[in-house]
Each structure stands twice: as structure tokens, then as C-alpha cells.
């Protein structure tokens, strides 16, 4: 792989190449991958010209697997080993799965994130999702002709920490560097806003296969600001299918079904739902393995009747999000419809009635999320120039809390806080010589621990032994731009950084991920070592470019010796990248990172000063006459 030439000191860096980055919509029913080509966001089709990849994975006895249409075609024949809608299982325990008795899978009885027993062994939802992501990665790499710098992967805005972390872990298993986890409605807003030059407050109503999101955003020139978000991470088009399925069972008076028959009737139910988007009546006919014949007609009226409560369930979070944003229906300039399930006429009607306006449907509801993600990926990869970019301010969907005495929750980070965000809290010991402290973090809005989702138990170790109450441990809860929580702790008296051991309630430990990574490499066709080396080279190239452009822009912040140390690091990395030793490459990267640490801090400082210098003094000094007591009124 050719690396860029290192510019001589003082010489300006050559305009950097277009970095290959993609946006991935990892959906419950279907997934897509998109990229920006010649300034235009496009969905990348498979070799048969199909944009969608059904989110279906089938495991085979030899340990291999197939994802997409091929797997989908076999789901009625091999339902136990063909996993559909795996997104519903991400970061979830077995007790969280609704209608699991109707599902054909064999679940592993274990605490934590659920697992499925397949003919190829026990699989975690993270591994299954990774197969979908891997398929999309390969599609993108063959379409774009190179290794990807990274991907923006979308998640439902209402996904909690465990579900987000599971998605990020799946990307890791699939060999995809994650530039950002992006909320699906936000991705849609980016695509819609940029395409239409929209300004004002918009609502994004996103009803996908298995999740529902509502986000309220303020769109202004170059700024996308999420004001509030809400939703239901277990409500989607699948539930409409399920209602039809139950109606079939009842109407045809069927005896208990085999798993194959159940899977087939669920497919018929979905087809009927789709048919009703364009017709008044849908015929449903099937011959079961028992020889029984199903022959029914589902009318639009009946369909509306049996799904009325589902629609009402989407409007509750809508009202809550509006309230959280401090807005009313009258403030909403437009309602962007996202997700295949919004094609249903009764959804369109219900949303139109609620917002008292026609919903906006001028973007393909199935592609808009992937397209927005591709635009954001292009931005994050650094393919856009300053002034031709935008700022995205997103929020955390659910409050983070801490278990306190009596099973109560103390809120640490309230929902709808703009991310990244952090809160610090002080704790003390209650026993003499106590050296460890346990914290239980939950996510949700309720007051009792039992009513919220357990995220993780953190154990702080290495607290200096002191008398009870003397240690002062400052625990910082940091939520990053992906909406993921990290916890760090420090004893204030001694300044000792205490170790934090994380036990995720519904997540995977680092060891488990490492084991899965090893396991997955045993079955993939591409050479794992070559792949790892290639990924490290891309990473090295990214770093070299980042440092070079930093030197070109702000090299004057460095003393001569500092600069020469960085130049030496660059050269070392450049040479390591030309070699075949991945280990050496990683060490060279670490060395360069260490040399640029102080430089990064100075650059950040300058960048902030520039933000001020952009405004003139009279502007800053002015409008004090406007001064009021803020928004208290």
C-alpha cells in the first residue's frame, strides 16, 4: 500500500485524498450501506443491483454462515438456525424478548445478554449482527476498491447504553472502524435538512422494523441541534406483523403450530401488511405442514382495528418529546417520516392528525437513514472543508442513574442532555480500611432501580485504606459523542487513580469479544493476518495525514526540538508502515501519538481562540441593551 510522502517542514501538505468512509443503517429487517461519491450520497447495491440486505443470518453445520437474501430464502426451511430481527436481541436478556414462545430459536439459559444455540454453536446477537456488518463491509470495499477508513453506524435514538455498546462491539468483530454511532432520526434529519435547505424545528417520526424513535430537532444554517428524543426500542413494523399473525390464528382457529408453519404464517402476515399499503383487502392463503389450509381476507378496516393500540403507543413518546423540548405541535414546521413501517396509510394518517399537517415523504423512508449516515461519515473522515461543513449536537435519550440506599435511583445525567457530557460525584467509605467500592449504574426514568435497566456494576479498587468517611472518591461519569458511558475514579486526598472494573449487565466483557474475534477469524475467507496488517496500515496512514496537516496548519506552535521529535516519529511510522510487521507498526503509532500529545493540547487552545477571533469586538460588547434575565420568563 502506497503511503503519502512526508512533506518537508514548512512545505504545505498536499491536498489530502478522498478517504473511503461509509454510512451503515443496521436495521431490524433490512440493512444498507451508503457512501458519498462525487459529492452525492448514494446507496451501494449488491452485485445483483439490490440496495437492501435483509438482516437475516443463517448458520450452517460446517460453522460457516450466510447473510442476506440467501439466508432469508431458507428461513421457513431452517428456522432454528436462521436468525431474523437480531437487532431486537442486542444488549438484551432473555426475559426482555416479547413473544419469545412464538420464536423458533433455542435460547441459552444464562444471565446477561441472551445467546442463541445454532447448528454452528452458541451465538451472541453481537456475532450475528457482525455477520451483517461484515457482508456490508465487503460490499462497500469491492464497490469502492479499497479499505475503509471507517463507518458511521446508525442506532435507534432510543437505544440504551447496552444496545449501543453491543452495536459497536459488532462493528469491531466485523473489522469495521467506527467513526461514530449516529442516531437514526438524526441521520434522517441530516439527509433531509441538507437536501432541502430546511430551517426551523422539525420532528422525525421513525418507525422501523423493530424500533420506534421520535426526535425533535432545530435546523439552522450549519447546525443540527437535537432538542429532545424519545421512543420505544421494542416497537416496530414487526409488531404489526405479529398482530396479523395472531388474527390469522384466531380467525382460522388453528391448532398449535410447528416452528416452520409459524415462520411461514409470519411471512404471510408481513406480505399482507405490505399489500394493504396499496389495496383495500389482502388475501392470505397458505397450506400448513399439517395439511390444514388457511384462506382468509384481511380488510384495511380490520387491520386498522387490530393495530390501533400500536399507533397510540407511538404517540405517547411523541407527546413526551415535545414536552421535554418545551414545544407544542404548533411549533413544528415539518414532520419527516422515516422507516419502512411509515408506508402504512394508517401511520401516515395518525401522524398527520396529531401534528395537524401532512407528513413529509419526499425521501425514500428506507434509504434516508443510510444516506444521512454516509454524509456524516464523509464529514467525519475529513472529506469536507471548513465552511462547507456542519455541526451536529445530539442528546442522550435516557437518564443515567446510580443505585442508592433502599433500591432508589439517583439521577446523574438527565435524559436529553447534549453529548458529550459528564458528571462528577463524590463518595466516601463507610468502614475503616475499606479499599473497594461498588457502584450500580442504571438507565431509565423511574425512581426504583427495579424499574430501570441495569447497565453495569462498577467496582472501584485500590482506594487507600483510611478510617471510615475519610476517603473522598470522586467518580466521573463521562458520556461520549456515541452516547456511551465510561466511569473513572480518583481518591482526592491521595490523588490515586482507582481502578474501575466493569461488569456489564447485558454486555460482553473484553475477553469475550477477543474470543469471538478469534473465533470469527477462523471462518472468514480473507486472510486474517493480512487483514489486520492492512487495517493497521490504514490507521497509520490516517495518523500520518492527521499529524502532517496539523503540522502544516499549526507547526508554529512547536519549538524546533519538539518539531523534530514529531518528524522523527512520522518517519518511524512511515518506515514501519512500509514493512510487514504489524507489531512494529502499532508501536510506531503509539510513539507518534505520545509525541503529539502536547501539540494536540496547544492546537485545541488555538482553535478555541480562533472561535472568538472570528467575531468582532463591537459584536461582543454590543447588545447588552438586550440584556434580560435570560429564559426565566
Partner 1 sequence: MPVAPASRLMSGREPLDLSTDFFSLFALPRSFRLAAAQLDRAYVELQASVHPDRFAAADDSARRLAMQWSTRVNEAYQTLKKPLARAKYLLHLAAHDVADENNTLMPADFLIEQLEWREAVAEARAAGDHHELEHMHHRLQRELSSRYDELGDLFDERQDFVEAADRVRRLMFIEKLLADLDEAMAACDA
Which phi and psi angles does 59 have, rounded to 5°? -95, 140
- Cα–Cα distance, 133 to 155 (Å, whole number): 13
Which phi and psi angles does 302 have, rounded to 5°? -60, -45
Q: Closest Cα to residue 441, out of 162, 230, 182, 233? A: 162
- Secondary structure (DSSP) of 351-382: HHHHHTSPPB--S-TTTHHHHHHHHHHHHHTT
- Cα–Cα distance, 377 to 292 (Å, whole number): 51
Considering only the stretches 55-63, 275-283, 462-470, 591-599, report the one whose residues sit in contact with partner 1 under the rule CB under 8 A.
591-599
Q: Are 187 and 23 in contact (CB under 8 A)?
A: yes
Footprint of partner 1 on residues 148-207 (CB under 8 A)? 149-150, 179-180
Secondary element (H or E) of residue 122? strand 121-123
Question: What is the residue whose three cell numbers read 447504553?
Answer: 161
Category of 495 on φ-ψ map: left (φ > 0), alpha (ψ -120 to 50) or beta = left
Among 547, 551, 566, 577, binds partner 1 (CB under 8 A): 547
- Cα–Cα distance, 488 to 495 (Å, whole number): 13
What are the beta bridge partners of residue 550?
none
Considering only the stretches 57-65, 103-111, 137-145, 413-421, report the one whose residues sit in contact with partner 1 under the rule CB under 8 A.
413-421
Catalytic residue among 169, 184, 403, 545: 184
Among 320, 472, 490, 531, binds partner 1 (CB under 8 A): 320
Considering only the stretches 27-35, 187-195, 341-349, 620-628, report the one whose residues sit in contact with partner 1 under the rule CB under 8 A.
620-628
Residue 352-381 contact track with partner 1, rule CB under 8 A, x = bound = ---------------------------xxx
Considering only the stretches 83-91, 338-346, 526-534, 602-610, report the one whose residues sit in contact with partner 1 under the rule CB under 8 A.
602-610
608 binds partner 1 (CB under 8 A): yes
Considering only the stretches 26-34, 245-253, 258-266, 589-597, report the one whose residues sit in contact with partner 1 under the rule CB under 8 A.
589-597
- Cα–Cα distance, 506 to 508 (Å, whole number): 7
Considering only the stretches 103-111, 113-121, 558-566, 588-596, report the one whose residues sit in contact with partner 1 under the rule CB under 8 A.
588-596
Footprint of partner 1 on residues 24-83 (CB under 8 A)? none
Q: How far is the CB of 465 from partner 1 (least distance, A)?
A: 29
The answer to whether 25 is a known catalytic residue is yes
Q: Closest Cα to residue 338, out of 319, 322, 361, 317? A: 361
Catalytic residue among 87, 123, 172, 367: 87
437 binds partner 1 (CB under 8 A): no
Q: Closest Cα to residue 483, out of 229, 203, 236, 209? A: 229
Question: Mapped to the 3 state alphabet, what secondary structure does 448-466 carry?
Answer: EHHHCEEEEEEEEECCCCC
Closest to partner 1 by CB, 358 or 590: 590
Catalytic residue among 127, 160, 206, 491: 206
Q: How far is the CB of 530 from partner 1 (least distance, A)?
A: 24
CA 591 to the chain's CA centroid: 31
The answer to whether 184 is a known catalytic residue is yes
Closest to partner 1 by CB, 261 or 482: 482
Considering only the stretches 245-253, 335-343, 428-436, 623-631, report the one whose residues sit in contact with partner 1 under the rule CB under 8 A.
623-631
Closest to partner 1 by CB, 52 or 550: 550
The answer to whether 206 is a known catalytic residue is yes
Footprint of partner 1 on residues 98-157 (CB under 8 A)? 149-150
- Secondary structure (DSSP) of 453-500: EEEEEEEEE-PPP-STTT--EEEEEEE-TTS-EEEEEEETTT-PEEEE
- Torsion sign (Cα): 459, 465, 469, 475: negative
Q: How far is the CB of 135 from partner 1 (least distance, A)?
A: 24
- Cα–Cα distance, 204 to 75 (Å, whole number): 33
Residue 280-319 contact track with partner 1, rule CB under 8 A, x = bound = ------------------------------------x--x
CA 575 to the chain's CA centroid: 36
How far lies 158's CA from each of 307, 399, 528, 559, in Å?
Answer: 22, 11, 35, 48
Among 4, 306, 393, 487, binds partner 1 (CB under 8 A): 393
Among 42, 422, 517, 586, binds partner 1 (CB under 8 A): 422
Closest to partner 1 by CB, 438 or 594: 594
626 binds partner 1 (CB under 8 A): yes
Footprint of partner 1 on residues 203-242 (CB under 8 A)? 222-223
95: number of Cβ within 10 Å: 8
445 binds partner 1 (CB under 8 A): no
Closest to partner 1 by CB, 522 or 627: 627
How does strand 400-404 pair with strand 408-413? antiparallel
Question: What is the residue whose three cell numbers read 405517547?
Answer: 316
Catalytic residue ranges: 25, 87, 184, 206
Interacting residues with partner 1 (CB under 8 A): 19, 149-150, 179-180, 222-223, 316, 319-320, 323, 379-382, 391-393, 417-422, 478, 480-481, 542-543, 545-547, 550, 592-593, 596-597, 600-601, 603-605, 607-615, 617, 620-621, 623-624, 626-633
Amino acid at each position: 500500500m502506497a503511503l503519502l510522502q512526508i512533506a518537508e517542514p514548512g512545505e504545505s501538505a498536499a491536498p489530502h485524498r478522498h478517504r473511503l468512509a461509509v454510512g451503515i443503517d443496521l436495521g431490524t429487517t433490512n440493512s444498507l450501506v451508503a457512501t458519498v461519491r462525487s459529492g452525492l450520497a448514494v446507496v451501494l447495491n449488491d452485485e445483483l443491483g439490490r440496495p437492501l440486505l435483509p438482516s437475516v443470518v443463517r448458520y450452517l453445520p460446517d460453522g460457516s454462515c450466510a447473510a442476506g437474501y440467501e439466508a432469508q430464502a431458507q428461513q421457513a426451511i431452517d428456522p432454528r438456525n436462521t436468525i431474523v430481527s437480531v437487532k431486537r436481541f442486542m444488549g438484551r436478556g432473555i426475559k426482555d424478548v416479547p413473544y419469545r414462545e412464538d420464536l423458533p430459536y433455542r435460547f441459552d439459559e444464562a444471565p446477561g445478554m441472551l445467546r442463541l444455540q445454532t447448528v454452528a454453536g452458541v451465538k451472541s446477537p453481537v456475532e450475528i449482527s457482525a455477520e451483517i456488518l461484515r457482508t456490508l463491509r465487503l460490499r462497500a470495499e469491492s464497490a469502492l476498491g479499497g479499505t475503509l477508513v471507517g463507518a458511521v453506524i446508525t442506532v435507534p435514538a432510543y437505544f440504551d447504553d447496552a444496545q449501543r455498546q453491543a452495536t459497536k462491539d459488532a462493528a469491531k468483530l466485523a473489522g469495521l472502524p467506527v467513526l461514530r454511532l449516529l442516531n437514526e432520526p438524526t441521520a434522517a434529519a441530516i439527509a433531509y435538512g441538507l437536501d432541502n435547505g430546511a430551517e426551523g424545528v422539525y420532528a422525525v417520526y421513525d418507525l422501523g422494523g423493530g424500533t420506534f424513535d421520535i426526535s425533535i430537532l432545530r435546523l439552522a444554517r450549519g447546525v443540527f441541534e437535537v432538542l429532545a428524543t424519545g421512543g420505544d426500542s421494542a416497537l416496530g413494523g414487526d409488531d404489526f406483523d405479529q398482530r396479523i399473525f395472531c388474527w390469522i390464528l384466531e380467525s382460522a382457529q388453528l391448532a398449535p403450530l410447528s416452528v416452520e408453519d409459524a415462520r411461514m404464517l409470519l411471512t404471510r402476515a408481513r406480505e399482507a401488511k405490505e399489500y394493504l399499503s396499496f389495496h383495500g383487502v389482502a388475501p392470505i392463503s397458505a397450506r400448513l405442514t399439517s395439511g390444514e389450509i388457511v384462506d382468509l381476507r384481511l380488510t384495511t378496516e380490520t387491520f386498522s382495528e387490530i393495530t390501533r393500540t400500536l399507533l397510540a403507543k407511538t404517540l405517547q413518546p411523541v407527546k413526551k418529546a415535545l414536552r421535554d423540548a418545551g414545544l407544542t405541535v404548533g411549533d413544528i414546521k415539518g414532520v419527516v417520516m422515516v422507516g419502512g413501517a411509515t408506508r402504512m396509510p394508517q401511520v401516515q394518517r395518525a401522524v398527520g392528525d396529531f401534528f395537524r399537517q401532512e407528513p413529509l415523504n419526499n425521501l425514500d423512508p428506507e434509504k434516508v437513514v443510510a444516506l444521512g449516515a454516509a454524509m456524516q461519515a464523509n464529514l467525519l473522515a475529513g472529506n469536507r472543508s471548513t465552511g462547507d461543513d456542519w455541526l451536529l449536537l445530539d442528546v442522550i435519550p435516557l437518564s443515567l442513574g446510580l443505585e442508592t440506599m433502599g433500591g432508589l435511583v439517583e439521577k446523574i445525567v438527565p435524559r436529553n442532555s447534549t453529548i458529550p457530557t459528564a458528571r462528577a460525584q463524590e463518595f466516601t467509605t463507610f468502614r475503616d480500611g475499606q479499599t473497594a467500592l461498588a457502584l450500580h449504574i442504571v438507565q431509565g426514568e423511574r425512581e426504583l432501580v427495579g424499574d430501570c435497566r441495569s447497565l453495569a456494576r462498577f467496582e472501584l479498587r485500590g482506594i487507600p485504606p483510611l478510617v471510615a468517611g475519610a476517603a473522598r472518591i470522586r467518580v466521573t461519569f463521562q458520556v461520549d459523542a456515541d452516547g456511551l458511558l465510561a466511569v473513572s475514579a480518583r481518591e482526592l486526598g491521595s490523588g490515586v487513580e482507582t481502578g474501575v472494573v466493569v461488569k456489564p449487565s447485558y454486555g460482553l466483557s473484553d475477553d469475550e469479544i477477543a474470543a469471538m474475534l478469534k473465533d470469527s477469524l477462523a471462518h472468514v475467507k480473507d486472510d486474517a493476518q493480512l487483514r489486520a496488517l492492512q487495517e493497521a496500515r490504514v490507521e497509520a496512514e490516517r495518523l500520518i495525514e492527521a499529524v502532517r496537516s496539523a503540522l502544516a496548519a499549526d507547526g508554529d506552535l512547536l519549538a524546533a526540538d519538539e518539531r523534530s521529535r514529531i518528524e522523527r516519529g512520522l518517519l518511524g511510522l512511515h518506515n514501519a508502515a512500509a514493512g510487514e510487521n504489524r507489531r512494529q507498526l502499532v508501536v510506531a503509532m503509539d510513539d507518534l501519538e505520545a509525541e503529539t500529545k502536547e501539540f494536540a493540547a496547544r492546537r485545541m487552545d488555538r482553535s478555541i481562540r480562533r472561535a472568538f477571533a472570528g467575531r468582532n469586538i463591537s459584536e461582543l460588547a454590543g447588545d447588552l441593551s438586550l440584556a434580560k434575565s435570560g429564559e426565566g420568563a
